[in-house]
């Protein structure tokens, strides 16, 4: 079994490189990809590969932080696309063979904070 850290690192590197063969080798046959914000789910290696292959190009991923424990990983990414930098939170679970079997991803939209806490925060 490969370590979760090595698998997650290879997963993001293959996705950024659009190396679909390498990306596919990291996925379990029955991988499930969850997008809770849009209430979408993709099931199976071929469907998940096709989803990524057909996604409009022009984006780039940078891993800001990856934390692993056993067969679980949490990653914070920055996705650069059309002059914007979008934060992404991804949670990955690996199977016994070290393949990615489940991914849950959140793409939060920036928003303005409510008034009244300016004295407590620093904006960046």
- The pLDDT value recorded for residue 110 is 80
Q: Which domains does the chain have, with CATH numbers?
A: 4-106 (3.10.450.50)
- Global confidence as pTM: 0.89
Tokens linked to 51: 């989803």
Q: pLDDT digit string (tens) for 63-122?
A: 999 999 999 999 999 999 989 999 999 999 999 999 999 999 999 888 888 899 999 999
The Cα–Cα gap between 22 and 85 comes to 26
């Amino acid at each position: 079994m490969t370590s979760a850290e090595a698998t997650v690192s290879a997963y993001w590197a293959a996705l950024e490189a659009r190396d679909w063969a390498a990306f596919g080798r990291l996925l379990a046959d029955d991988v499930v990809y969850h997008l809770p914000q849009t209430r979408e789910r993709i099931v199976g290696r071929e469907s998940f590969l096709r989803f990524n292959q057909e996604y409009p190009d022009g984006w780039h991923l940078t891993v800001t932080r990856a934390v692993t424990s056993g067969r679980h990983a949490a990653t914070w990414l920055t996705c650069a696309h059309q002059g914007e930098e979008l934060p992404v939170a991804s949670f990955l679970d690996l199977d016994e063979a070290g393949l990615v079997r489940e991914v849950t991803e959140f793409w939060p939209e920036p928003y303005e904070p409510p008034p009244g806490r300016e004295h407590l925060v620093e904006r960046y």
